């Protein structure tokens, strides 16, 4: 929160901190509503954006942000409401129509066609390749292969290419939905400065994000949605974060319980999980650490430092080339996720689509891991299942209005189901959480922190990778930092301030005792 105030103050004092420009707005949407069957996604949403402005669109998950964005960009038709672009009322009947009107989105999932190469993707949207390459370079991608198949590129690259394509269309209004969610920190910086420059050049940007620090640095105003209604419009100024959270949650927020109930004693005794010299070319190069019962061990790393491989190996999805894994002192080798699960390890993958049965019900999703033991092929005790599932739903406060198919849930609720499916039966002995709070709202995040602490106090050992550094002191007992496939630093979470973690994550702690501490992580 301190960082937020500081950043906001800088923008206020900085030379570019012009007051929100007056004059006619480039976008003026009012009274927009939309329902899906019985579910009202948007009730009365409004948004005004003027030239030269970056406006943040904020709201808890399920508040209607995605629906609103789809309507503004022509991907969905509103039931009621009017949208004016540069003073003229428009009907945006398709994304193509919105694009012609100067309104270009970058959606949360990349919109490049996976089986076409980059060049064909440009031709599809009639984007000239010269400006595209210019923006790609500006955003920090060096040589871009126009003949590379989009589906073969890493997610972060795809998102940046998607943004470069949007910029090359010279949009009057750029709509960015969770643009930075999957990006490594260095690319985030590039993106933020390019986007700010767009606004400063007289264009306008709608910026959707859960990250307050970015909003403080980038945006002029924040428009807040709650339950499908616009409930506030705040200029970015010191103290705005609390106001925004209050508006988003509408007083439903309990105090950050995770911090208050943090009483788990620094876990001692023999480690439950012992990892030694784990190697898998090219990403893992001899990684070692211990994880004790009742401990939450944070893992911090920049993109691609071996964290994905580590979690995949521990979850039984991939085999290491060298190294030892011991669970409760017994060496283990997982050839299949079933082996890992049998050994008490449960993996919550970074992409919830990898875990959920998207067209099956919430009940089936929650019950599957508890019921899918290989030797339990007989009839299912329906009542016991129903009870166990209800307990999980209550414990995680899953919103089950759309329980028929998991894909209809909001992102936050989907994430709760991905986690909850391991808690319906006996809880795992070792819980592997790979960025469980990516792209979800503040309220759900806090519930997940509380749940993690709760599990730890019950004796579960938790390995918790996060891409959001402030989560480390909030949730973890200790933290290890990975760089180049090794542990380069290990420290108590209480000492893990952001600058220290960042330095370590960039591999800058060598020679300052970081390596020694790393060795202590695996005594």
Partner 1 sequence: MTARPVAARPSVAIVAARHGWTLGLAVLLALLLALTKIIQPAFGATGLEALVRAALPFAFATAAMTVVVIAGGIDLSVASMMAVAGVTGAVLMQNAGDGAGALLAVGAVLLVGAAMGATNGLLIVGTRLPDIVVTLAMLFVWEGVALLILRAPGGAATPWLRELVVGPLVIPGLPPAATALVPQALLVLAVILAAIWLPLRRSRLGLGIYAVGSDETAAFRSGVSIGATKVAAYTLAGVLAALGGLSVTLATGIGEPIPGPYLLASVAAVVLGGVALGGGRGGLLGPLLAVFILRVVRLDLTLLAVDPNVTTIIEGTIMAAVVMAGGLLAMRERRS
Closer to partner 1 at the Cβ: 95 or 228?
95
User: Could you say whether residue 94 binds partner 1 (CB under 8 A)?
Assistant: yes
Segment 159 to 218, residues that bind partner 1, using CB under 8 A: none
Contact 481, 467 (CB under 8 A): no
Contact 71, 44 (CB under 8 A): no
The single residue among 116, 259, 494, 522 that binds partner 1, judged by CB under 8 A, is: 116
The residues facing 482 across adjacent strands are 487
In the complex, least distance from residue 174 CB atom to partner 1, rounded to whole angstroms: 15
User: Could you say whether residue 294 binds partner 1 (CB under 8 A)?
Assistant: no
Q: What is the dihedral of CA 32, 37, 39, 43, to 10 degrees?
A: 20
Contact 151, 114 (CB under 8 A): yes
Closer to partner 1 at the Cβ: 6 or 36?
36
User: Could you say whether residue 114 binds partner 1 (CB under 8 A)?
Assistant: yes
Cα 59–chain centre separation: 15
> Pairing mode, if any, of strands 461-465 and 430-434?
parallel
Closer to partner 1 at the Cβ: 122 or 300?
122
In the complex, least distance from residue 119 CB atom to partner 1, rounded to whole angstroms: 8
The single residue among 46, 81, 125, 276 that binds partner 1, judged by CB under 8 A, is: 125
Segment 145 to 164, residues that bind partner 1, using CB under 8 A: 145-148, 151
Cα 46–chain centre separation: 26
Residue 377: phi, psi to the nearest 5? -90, -5
Structure tokens at 488: 């380069």
Nearest to 11 by CA among 58, 56, 51, 46: 56
Binding mask 45-84 for partner 1 (x = CB under 8 A): ------------------------------x---------
Nearest to 361 by CA among 412, 407, 410, 416: 407
The single residue among 7, 45, 144, 296 that binds partner 1, judged by CB under 8 A, is: 144
User: Could you say whether residue 253 binds partner 1 (CB under 8 A)?
Assistant: no
Closer to partner 1 at the Cβ: 234 or 409?
409
Segment 337 to 396, residues that bind partner 1, using CB under 8 A: none
Residue range at the interface with partner 1 (CB under 8 A); choices 126-134, 207-215, 256-264, 411-419: 126-134
Residue range at the interface with partner 1 (CB under 8 A); choices 94-102, 363-371, 383-391, 407-415: 94-102
The single residue among 130, 265, 282, 511 that binds partner 1, judged by CB under 8 A, is: 130
User: Could you say whether residue 90 binds partner 1 (CB under 8 A)?
Assistant: no
Tell me 117's DSSP state: B
Residues 14-31 as b/e (b if ≥16 CB within 10 A, e otherwise) read: eeeeeeeeeeebbbbbee
Please calculate the CA angle 196-197-199 and round it to the nearest 5 degrees. 70
Residue range at the interface with partner 1 (CB under 8 A); choices 47-55, 110-118, 263-271, 343-351: 110-118
Structure tokens at 184: 């490594």
User: Could you say whether residue 411 binds partner 1 (CB under 8 A)?
Assistant: no
Nearest to 59 by CA among 180, 174, 231, 213: 231
Can you give the binding site for partner 1, defined by CB under 8 A? Answer: 75, 94-96, 99, 105, 107, 109-116, 120-121, 123-125, 129-130, 133-134, 136-137, 142-148, 151
């Amino acid at each position: 929160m301190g960082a937020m105030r500081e950043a906001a103050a800088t923008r206020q004092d900085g030379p570019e901190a012009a007051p929100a420009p007056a004059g006619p707005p480039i976008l003026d949407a009012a009274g927009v509503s939309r329902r899906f069957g019985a579910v009202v996604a948007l009730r009365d949403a409004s948004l005004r954006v003027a030239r030269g402005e970056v406006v943040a669109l904020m709201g808890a998950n399920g508040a209607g942000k995605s629906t609103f964005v789809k309507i503004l960009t022509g991907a969905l038709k509103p039931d009621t409401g009017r949208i004016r672009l540069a003073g003229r009322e428009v009907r945006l009947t398709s994304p193509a129509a919105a694009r012609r009107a100067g309104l270009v989105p970058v959606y949360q999932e990349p919109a490049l066609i996976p089986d076409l190469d980059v060049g064909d993707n440009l031709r599809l949207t009639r984007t000239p390749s010269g400006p595209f390459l210019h923006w790609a370079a500006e955003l920090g991608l060096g040589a871009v292969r126009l003949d590379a198949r989009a589906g073969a590129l890493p997610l972060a690259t795809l998102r940046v290419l998607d943004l470069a394509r949007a910029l090359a269309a010279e949009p009057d209004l750029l709509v960015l939905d969770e643009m930075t969610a999957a990006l490594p920190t260095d690319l985030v910086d590039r993106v933020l400065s390019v986007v700010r420059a767009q606004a400063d050049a007289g264009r306008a940007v709608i910026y959707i994000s859960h990250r307050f620090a970015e909003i403080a640095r980038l945006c002029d105003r924040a428009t807040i949605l709650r339950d499908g209604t616009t409930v506030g419009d705040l200029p970015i100024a010191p103290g705005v974060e609390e106001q925004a959270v209050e508006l988003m949650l509408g007083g439903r927020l309990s105090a950050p319980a995770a911090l208050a109930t943090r009483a788990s004693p620094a876990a001692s005794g023999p480690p439950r999980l012992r990892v030694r010299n784990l190697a898998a070319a090219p990403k893992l190069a001899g990684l070692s650490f211990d994880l004790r019962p009742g401990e939450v061990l944070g893992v911090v790393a920049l993109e691609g430092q071996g964290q994905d491989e580590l979690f995949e190996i521990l979850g039984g999805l991939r085999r290491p080339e060298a190294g030892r894994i011991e669970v409760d002192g017994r060496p283990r080798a997982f050839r299949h996720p079933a082996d890992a699960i049998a050994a008490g390890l449960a993996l919550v993958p970074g992409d919830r689509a990898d875990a959920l049965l998207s067209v099956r019900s919430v009940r089936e999703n929650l019950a599957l891991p508890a019921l899918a033991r290989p030797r339990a092929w007989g009839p299912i005790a329906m009542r016991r299942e129903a009870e166990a599932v209800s307990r999980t739903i209550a414990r995680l406060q899953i919103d089950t209005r759309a329980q028929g198919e998991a894909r209809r849930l909001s992102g936050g609720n989907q994430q709760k189901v991905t986690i909850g499916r391991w808690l319906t039966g006996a809880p795992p002995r070792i819980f592997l959480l790979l960025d469980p709070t990516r792209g979800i709202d503040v309220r759900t995040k806090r519930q997940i922190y509380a749940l993690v602490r709760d599990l730890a106090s019950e004796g579960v050992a938790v390995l918790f990778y996060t891409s959001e550094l402030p989560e480390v002191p909030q949730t973890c007992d200790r933290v290890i930092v990975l760089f180049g496939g090794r542990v380069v630093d290990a420290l108590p979470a209480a000492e893990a301030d952001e600058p220290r973690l960042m330095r370590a994550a960039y591999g800058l702690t060598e020679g300052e005792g970081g390596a020694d501490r790393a060795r202590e992580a695996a005594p």
